């Protein structure tokens, strides 16, 4: 297998795979905005339309126009607005949102929804996108989905599968010529180290955040992940927040996320963090760049 390295005048390319519209703005948005503004070709791929989501903004929850029938089209427009703010390209895979089941025992997922599909079947449109877009880097969720939503877990499964299948010349040649992505990262944005650092800073400054303190109680050492790669996003926190607010039905603009000041974030933890899950090129860890090691040469991939 050969990994094609970018030439000196070639645009660096990445794809960020997400479950629902709004996930791209709450997970890794500072990184994608930064790379797009630095000249990389950044494509956000959203697997579902968020059809089974609810209106989460208290200001809009009683809006009679936001019926279940119209919410998917509203969320598509919100995604378009966020895409413009982030400065990225965007594609839909077209799967149907699985919803977040509740109850004890949990009810079965709706027939035909994204999370119920066989992994290889669900990975096919992502394989096609990878072969067409030819990214050097892919970002996705960890095996727990970042949190255990069935669609987020399925995103991990199809991303890992597509990473392998897109490079396999024997798999579905009708989906395009094989392409070997150099590096696959897990987004690791919600972790104990980051929240602890921000909470300590706020307490020390005399402005503790009660919601953040409550959130901290959910974390222990068992939730820690390996942080291999930290991307400086201090200049992109405003872009991230604007993109998240663009998903007006999904975000409480007065919620705890927006009550953490940028100064506090910058002082305590000004990076977005990733775990390098697979690399087909030689790497030196830790990194401060998702494209680290992708420089001006053509090399043979590791087995």
Tens digits of per-residue pLDDT, 126-163?
A: 999 999 999 999 999 999 988 789 999 999 999 999 99
Q: Is 277 part of any known ligand binding site?
A: no
Q: Is 152 part of any known ligand binding site?
A: yes
Tens digits of per-residue pLDDT, 25-70?
A: 999 999 999 999 999 999 999 999 999 999 999 999 999 999 999 9
Tell me, what's the pLDDT at 296? 62
Q: Is 97 part of any known ligand binding site?
A: no
The correct CATH number of 2-190+226-300 out of 3.40.50.10320, 3.30.70.270, 3.40.50.300, 1.10.260.40 is: 3.40.50.10320
Instruction: Give the contacts of 266 (CB within 8 A, at least 6 positions apart).
Output: 234, 237
Q: Going edge to edge, which strands form the sheet with 137-140?
A: 89-95, 41-48, 13-18, 137-140, 183-187, 271-279, 229-232
- Calpha distance 125→161 (Å, rounded): 12
Are 39 and 6 a contacting pair, CB within 8 Å? no
Per-residue pLDDT for the chain (303 aa), expressed as one digit of tens each? 778 888 888 999 999 999 999 999 999 999 999 999 999 999 999 999 999 999 999 999 999 999 999 999 999 999 999 999 999 999 999 999 999 988 888 899 999 999 999 999 999 999 999 999 999 999 999 999 887 899 999 999 999 999 999 999 999 999 999 999 999 999 998 888 888 888 888 888 887 777 777 777 777 676 677 899 999 999 999 999 999 999 999 999 988 888 888 998 999 899 999 999 999 999 999 999 999 999 664 444 444
């Amino acid at each position: 297998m050969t990994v094609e390295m970018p030439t000196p005048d070639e645009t660096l390319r990445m794809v960020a795979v997400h479950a629902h519209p709004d996930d791209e703005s709450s997970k890794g948005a500072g990184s994608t905005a930064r790379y797009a503004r630095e000249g990389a070709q950044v494509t956000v791929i959203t697997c579902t339309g968020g059809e089974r989501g609810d209106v989460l903004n208290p200001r809009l929850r009683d809006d009679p126009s936001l019926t279940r029938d119209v919410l998917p089209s509203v969320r598509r427009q919100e995604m378009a607005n966020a895409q413009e703010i982030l400065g990225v390209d965007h594609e839909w895979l077209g799967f149907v949102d699985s919803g977040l089941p509740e109850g004890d025992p949990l009810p079965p997922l709706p027939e035909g929804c994204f999370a119920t599909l066989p992994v290889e079947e669900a990975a096919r449109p992502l394989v096609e996108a990878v072969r067409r877009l030819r990214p050097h880097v892919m970002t996705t969720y960890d095996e727990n989905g970042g949190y255990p939503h069935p669609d987020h877990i399925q995103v991990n499964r199809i991303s890992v599968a597509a990473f392998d299948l897109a490079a396999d010349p024997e798999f579905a040649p009708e989906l395009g010529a094989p392409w070997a992505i150099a590096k696959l990262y897990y987004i690791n944005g919600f972790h104990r180290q980051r929240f602890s650092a921000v909470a300590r800073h706020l307490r020390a400054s005399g402005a503790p955040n009660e919601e953040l303190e409550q959130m901290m109680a959910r974390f222990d050492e068992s939730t820690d992940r390996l942080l291999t790669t930290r991307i400086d996003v201090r200049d992109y926190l405003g872009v991230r927040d604007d993109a998240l607010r663009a998903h007006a039905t999904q975000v409480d603009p007065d919620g705890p996320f927006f009550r953490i000041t940028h100064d506090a974030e910058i002082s305590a933890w000004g990076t977005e963090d990733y775990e390098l899950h697979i690399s087909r090129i030689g790497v030196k860890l830790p990194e401060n760049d998702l494209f680290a090691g992708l420089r001006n040469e053509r090399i043979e991939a590791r087995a």
